[in-house]
Amino acid sequence: MASKLPQLQSKASQASEFLIKNGSAYIKQLLEDNKQHIKDPPNIETCQLLAKQLFYTRLASIPNRVDAFWKELDGLKQSLKNRELEMNLDNAGLAALFGVECFAWFCGGEIIGRGFTITGYHV
């Protein structure tokens, strides 16, 4: 393991030299290619204004999202009422997979909430 350390240090220094030499050119090229997306003047006030506009734009889109949710829910209720919902093996498997995924995310959140311990909470 100790013999790999100088090789690793050499590779890291080569990578940092490459970034020092070519990093600014890459950033300049990236900015030039995407200049239509840059808001002038590029200062903190403009960034704060854009952040505020994004927040209130997303806030204004909530009623449309809620309406779409209720339309989807009404469609599901209607299909259940009319027994039009096909429950074949593919749909059942997909529903089971979705349930397992939700349970896995729940368990992961619990483990993270406990401070990355599986046994229990730190008291």
Is the pTM here over 0.85, yes or no?
no
Please report how many Cα atoms fall inside a 13 Å half-sphere around the Cα of residue 28, on the Cβ side.
5
Angle, vertex CA 55, rays to CA 53 and CA 60, nearest 5:
90
According to the model, what pLDDT value does residue 28 have? Answer: 85
pLDDT at 53 over 80: yes
Condensed to tens digits (0 to 9), the pLDDT of residues 75-117 reads 888 877 877 666 788 878 988 999 999 999 999 998 888 888 7
Task: Quickly tell me which residue has 């003047």 as its tokens.
Answer: 41
What is the structure's pLDDT at 122? 65
- pLDDT, residue 7, reads 86
Cβ–Cβ under 8 Å, residues 97 and 105: no
Measured over the CA atoms of residue 59, residue 64, residue 66 and residue 69, the dihedral's sign is negative
| 65, amino acid identity | R
Share of the chain above pLDDT 70, in %: 93
| Cα 95 to Cα 58: distance, rounded to the nearest angstrom | 30
What is the residue type of 27? I
